[in-house]
Structure 1
Amino acid sequence: MIDEFIAQIDEKWHGAFNKLMEAIDENLPPGFEKSIDRNMITYNVPLTTYPKGYHVTRNTPLPFLALAPQKRHIGLYHMGIYSNPELLKWFQEAYAEAVPTKLNMGKSCIRWTSTKHIPYELIGELSKKMSVEQWIAAYENEIQR
């Protein structure tokens, strides 16, 4: 199913998307589950690990990362940088050092409109920074506010 999804990605993004997915797959701590949801590759905390799931949609695994091939960009959604100011600061500083172009980012979405300067190693490093347990703790802290 994932292979079929990847085969349908626009040729313009195909190689970069695969490299980003590999960087995540090779570095993400154990316990996250990879799937497809809403036309994205997603990495979630499975309900077997966190039965409460995502509070917005009952009986749904807790989302953590998503990689989305869009019409005009590739998007990487990382809930850890959204919820952890220290991680966000680290990423912004590391990105500025590694990439000659300005960071195009929303609250949790990093966007690349060109594949020329995607920092694959940095994305691998970012993927290592938060375990399943750390993400659950951060998530619970946020929803209790």
Structure 2
Amino acid sequence: MNLASQKNYISFYHLGLYSNKDLLNWFKEEYSKKCNHKLDMGKRCIPFKKFNDIPYDLIADLITKIDVKTWISIYESSKK
């Protein structure tokens, strides 16, 4: 997971969203409930135009959804 400040937006990266369909579906559903604007999800990141657009509480929930052991098992299974 990473936040990066780009020239015109802030990028949020979370590889777990792209490798775990259940986590992605949960995130999309919760995002639509908590945010007033449509989810703009690229191939690698979610861009936010302003700091106030970032759903910090949703990101905090997302952090608790996947732990290090789970991420390692997802990563190792993808290499097979």
TM-score by length of 2: 0.92
2:2 maps to amino acid: A
Count of matched residue pairs: 80
Q: CA deviation at 1:116?
A: 2.9
Q: 2:36 aligns with which of 100, 110, 118?
A: 100
2:3 corresponds to which residue? 67
Identity %: 45
- Go from structure 1 to structure 2 and tell me whether the alpha carbon gap of 1:86 and 1:141 turns closer, same or farther (over 3 Å shift): same
Which protein has the larger Cα radius of gyration, Structure 1 or Structure 2?
1
- The two structures, once aligned, show a CA RMSD in angstroms of 1.0
- C-alpha distance after superposition, 1:72-92 (max 9, x if no partner): 111111010010000000001
1:97 maps to amino acid: K
Distance 2:29 2:36 in 1: 12
Q: CA deviation at 1:141?
A: 1.1
TM-score by length of 1: 0.53
Structure 1 runs of 4+ with >6 Å offset = none
Compare the two structures and name the one with the higher strand fraction: 1
Question: In the alignment, is residue 88 of structure 1 matched against residue 8 of structure 2?
Answer: no
Q: Which runs of 5+ in 2 are unaligned?
A: none
2:15 corresponds to which residue? 79
